[in-house]
Structure 1
Amino acid sequence: MAHTPDDGTGSALPASVRLLQWLVIGLTASMILGVITVVVVVVTRFPARPTPPVPETLALPQGATALSVSQGADWIGITTTDDRILIYDRATGNLRQTVTLTRP
C-alpha cells in the first residue's frame, strides 16, 4: 500500500475530509461573526442610563454607618449597620422616615 507524504498542500487528504475541513472553518467564522453581531446589538440597544441626581450630602444620624443605598423615583433609602432604614427625600435631602428593624 503506497503512502504519499503530506507536503503541506493538503493534497494527501481525501476530498470528503477537505470538504469537512472547509465546513468547519466556515462554521467557526460564522460563529465569530454572530457573537460580534450580538455584542454590537446589545451595546447599541442598551446604552447606560444616567443615574438620578443625588444630593451632595445626606446627614446620617449620630453613630449611624451606611451599609447599603437604594434609590426610588423621589426617595433614597439607606440601610445602616444598627438595623435601621433611613428614607430621605431626593430633592431636598431631608430625612422623611426611619424604619427600625427587629431581629427574630
Structure 2
Amino acid sequence: MPEPANLKFLRRLVTVLTVVMIAGVVTVIGLLVIRLQAPSLPDLPESITLPAGVVAEAVTFGGDWIAVVAGDEILIYGAGDGALRQRIAVGGGAE
C-alpha cells in the first residue's frame, strides 16, 4: 500500500528539521569553545615597586604601560621594565 502524501511530507520535514537542529547545536558548541578559550595576558614586568604608603586600588593594562590607581593619584609604569613613568593627581573633592 503506498504511503499517503501527507505522511511522506511530514517524514521529510522531520528529517530536515532534525538535521538543522543538529547543525545548530554543533555551531553553538563550536562558538562557545572558541569564545571561552583563555585570553592571552599582557607581558608583565617581574615586579612593580609602589612608593611608600601607597596602596593599589585598581590596575589596568595598556599597550606598553600599566596604570595603578592609588587613592587620589594614578601611577603609570612601563610594561617592559616596571619603572615609574608618571604620577597623575586626581581631584578627590566632592562636587
Q: State the 1:31 CA deviation.
A: 4.1
Work out the percentage of aligned pairs sharing the same amino acid: 43
User: Which residue matches 1:62?
Assistant: 52
Give the deviation of 1:47 after TM superposition. Answer: 4.4
* TM superposition shift of 1:77: 0.4
State how many pairs are aligned: 90
Q: Which amino acid counterpart does residue 95 of structure 1 have in structure 2? A: L
> How far did residue 59 of structure 1 move?
0.5
What CA deviation, in whole Å up to 9, does each residue of 1:37-95 have, x standing for no partner?
22313423774432112112110111111111111111000111x22110001111100
Higher-Rg structure is: 1
Alignment equivalent of 2:42, drawn from 52, 58, 65: 52
1:101 partnered with 2:81: no
Q: 1:29 to 1:67 in 2, by over 3 A?
A: farther
* Structure 2 residue corresponding to 1:85, chosen from 70, 74, 78: 74
Divergent runs of 4+, >6 A = none
Look up the SS of the partner of 1:40 in the other structure. helix
Q: For 1:87 and 1:29, how far apart are their aligned partners in 2?
A: 55
Unaligned runs of 5+ in 1: 1-15
Name which of structure 1's ranges 94-103 and 43-52 shifts more when overlaid on structure 2.
43-52
CA distance in 1: counterparts of 2:89 and 2:23, whole angstroms: 54
**What one-letter code is carried by the residue in structure 1 that aligns with 2:81?**
T
